[in-house]
Amino acid sequence: MPSRYRWVVLLLCWAVFTMTSVDRSTWGPASSAVSDSLGVPLAALGIFATCYYIGYVISNTAGGFLSDWLGSRSVLGISSLVAGVLMVLFGSTTSIAWGLVLQGLLGLFAGVDFSAGLKLITSWFRPEEHGLASGIFMTATSLGTVVANAVVPTLVKNSGWPVSYHLFGGVTVVLGLLCLAFLRNGTASARSGLPDPRPLFRNRDLLLLGLAGFGGLWGTYGFVTWSNTLMIRGEHIDPVRAGVVVVIFSGTAVVIKPLIGWLTDKIGLGRRIPIIAVLILFGAALLVFGSLSSYAAFLVVAPILGIGAYAYSPLTAAMIPALTGARLAGSAAGAVNAFWQLGSVIVPAVVGPVFHATGSFYAAFLTLAAGPLVGALVLLFMRDDRPVRKSVSAQAAAPGD
């Protein structure tokens, strides 16, 4: 019988992932104020986000390997402690150079939570529950954006941008301590020598999943990073109103993620086709959003855009252990998510110059929409679209897992 403790594990993994997502999303609504405070040009603001995601990509690969080797408890707890401290330090910086360094280090320590959390979910939940558990876990990314955009604009207006970094950094430190105190590694997370990641590099379907996720996150985090500034500077929307649009965008995803994970668990017909449909919806919604110019229109399209931007992520996450088996779930999650996050690394530095050169709100969103549309195209070539239960059982029985 499954242990009730698995819900404690899921809660702590979700809480840490939520706070690091809040930490990451704080940059969007705070960036304009940071620009004025530190004297950073508009076209260069994306470099801060790029520095964060460079560290994030590096730590995903290393964090997944460490989770398979040493267990997720220590990896998740220690990284959260350090990430919280770095958030506090960034809120106190007055130097552009030091700020860029801190953003890179912050990404380096915040980037292990996905692979460590997914490893624990794989260890404590049955395969037929992975869709629901992954859906709940992945609400963290969208909820983080909701919290940041609901709280940060008001904090910036009333107290200044450093306060938001100090507040969220402190909460992240507390969660790291809770993980060290209460988390336990499951059987698939137990130390059993150095894992051998070589089979991952020969897994064609895993590579295609990585390419699809790259395209999806190109659109998702490109929107999260730039939407506030583009609405404010491109369409002259009030900053608080722009934050409301992003809150609605992400709030819709909080509902859709566990729902779509639960549905795919129940139906059991595979996840490839649903992911393709969601990515196409996402690309189309970005094109529509980029053609709008009024606050009311942004509010109408925001929930549709949120469904497209976030509903694919629990499905792609749940596919990872199905394609690799439990033994390498951490390494696979880290490596694949690192590749996914390359979209997050590149897109902030691309959209800024595009908007600066063209002055076009639509051109910026056309650039964002290319990612999910290409991701949907790539998945058409994935061979593995078997029923989830059969795929999992077959992989679980594979030698070396």
DSSP letter string over 83-97?
A: HHHHHHHHTT---HH
Residue linked to tokens 């402190």? 170
* 348: Cβ contacts below 8 Å, ≥ 6 apart: 46, 47, 49, 50, 53, 221, 222, 225, 226
Q: Give the range with max mean pLDDT: 52-61, 156-165, 338-347.
A: 156-165
Nearest residue to 282 via CA among 215, 345, 331: 215
- The structure tokens listed for 322 are 């199905």
- Is residue 295 one of the residues assigned to a domain? yes
Nearest residue to 52 via CA among 90, 14, 16: 90
Residue 43, pLDDT score: 65
- Is residue 399 one of the residues assigned to a domain? no
For residue 254, give Cα distances in angstroms to 120, 140, 247, 248, 312.
21, 8, 11, 10, 12
Q: Are the beta carbons of 369 and 246 closer than 8 angstroms?
A: no
Q: How confident is the model at residue 399 (pLDDT cuts 50, 70, 90)?
A: very low
Q: How confident is the model at residue 96 (pLDDT cuts 50, 70, 90)?
A: confident
- The structure tokens listed for 178 are 């809770």
Each residue of 330-374: pLDDT tens digit? 777 777 877 887 777 788 778 878 887 887 888 888 999 999 999
- Is residue 396 one of the residues assigned to a domain? no
Q: What is the DSSP letter of 43?
A: G
What is the C-alpha to C-alpha distance for residues 154 and 386, in angstroms, rounded to an integer?
Answer: 48
Classify residue 236 as left (phi > 0), alpha (psi -120 to 50) or beta.
Answer: left
Give one DSSP letter per residue of 182-214, joined into a string.
Answer: H----GGGS--S----HHHHT-HHHHHHHHHHH
- Is residue 271 one of the residues assigned to a domain? yes
- Is residue 103 one of the residues assigned to a domain? yes
For range 203-208, the mean pLDDT: 84
What is the C-alpha to C-alpha distance for residues 212 and 205, in angstroms, rounded to an integer?
Answer: 11
Q: Say which CATH number the domain at 172 has.
A: 1.20.1250.20
Each residue of 175-201: pLDDT tens digit? 999 999 888 876 554 445 566 667 677
The more confidently predicted of residues 220 and 44 is: 220
Residue 326, pLDDT score: 64
Q: How many CB atoms lie within 10 A of CB 338?
A: 23
User: pLDDT at residue 398 above 50?
Assistant: no
For range 312-320, the mean pLDDT: 86
Containing domain of residue 212, as a range? 5-391
* 261: Cβ contacts below 8 Å, ≥ 6 apart: 131, 132, 133, 134, 135, 136, 138, 314, 315, 318
Q: What is the DSSP letter of 250?
A: H
For range 243-254, the mean pLDDT: 83
Q: Give the total number of structural domains in the chain.
A: 1
Give one DSSP letter per residue of 46-70, joined into a string.
Answer: HHHHHHHHHHHHHHHHHHHHHHHHH
- Is residue 332 one of the residues assigned to a domain? yes
Residue 195, pLDDT score: 62
- Is residue 172 one of the residues assigned to a domain? yes
- Is residue 397 one of the residues assigned to a domain? no
User: pLDDT at residue 319 above 60?
Assistant: yes
Give helix then strand counts, H and E, for the chain. Answer: 17, 0
User: pLDDT at residue 171 above 90?
Assistant: yes
For range 108-113, the mean pLDDT: 86
Residue 201 backbone dihedrals phi, psi, to 5 degrees: -75, -15
